[in-house]
């Protein structure tokens, strides 16, 4: 999902009666609140099976077609991505320091999943960097 799609969504929800738009504030930022119809739509949606995950990763696609890149360029991409995922992992770990309990326990479970995914990404990217051509082990 692109940033522009995310910014359009609240307006679309309001047009469908799921949210009410408040008074625009600084820099025309508009607060939204969920309506009764929106709460019902959420309640109907959340009980459904989530279905399969769809993985859309430009990085995986780039690595998949890595043979079409100069090895130095692929290594640079991998190194940049590793730094990005290391920073994200650090941020997630700092969030773990917040005491999560009660109804927020599912938030903590979701955060633990994010930490685990970032650990896998950092490890995988490190393995790609261990070879000269970027193909990993």
- Domain ranges in the chain are 3-46, 58-129
Question: Who contacts 30 (Cβ-Cβ below 8 Å, separation ≥6)?
Answer: 10, 21, 22, 23, 24
Residues 8/12/18/20 CA torsion (nearest 10 deg):
70
pLDDT digits (tens, 9 = 90+) for 98-135: 776 666 788 888 999 999 999 999 999 999 988 755 55
Query: What's the maximum distance between 2 C-alpha atoms anywhere in the chain?
Result: 58
Q: In this structure, is the dihedral angle defined by the CA atoms of residues 5, 8, 9 and 15, taken in order, positive or negative?
A: negative
DSSP string for residues in 84-97 = HHHHHHHHHHHHHT
Residue by residue, pLDDT tens for the chain (137 residues) are 577 777 889 999 999 999 999 998 888 888 999 999 999 999 999 999 999 998 889 999 999 999 999 999 999 999 999 999 999 999 999 988 877 666 678 888 899 999 999 999 999 999 998 875 555 54
Reduce the DSSP state of residue 19 to 3 states and report it.
Answer: strand
């Amino acid at each position: 999902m692109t940033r522009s799609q995310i910014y359009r969504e609240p307006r679309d929800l309001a047009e469908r009666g799921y949210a009410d738009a408040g008074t625009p504030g600084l820099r025309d930022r508009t607060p939204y609140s969920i309506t009764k119809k929106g709460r019902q739509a959420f309640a109907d949606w959340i009980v459904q099976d989530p279905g399969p995950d769809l993985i859309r990763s430009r990085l995986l696609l780039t690595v998949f077609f890595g043979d079409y890149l100069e090895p130095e360029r692929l290594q640079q991409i991998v190194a940049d991505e590793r730094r990005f995922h290391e920073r994200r992992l650090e941020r997630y770990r700092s969030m773990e320091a917040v005491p999560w309990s009660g109804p927020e326990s599912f938030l903590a479970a979701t955060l633990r999943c994010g930490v685990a995914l970032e650990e896998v990404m950092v490890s995988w990217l490190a393995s790609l960097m261990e070879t000269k051509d970027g193909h990993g082990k």
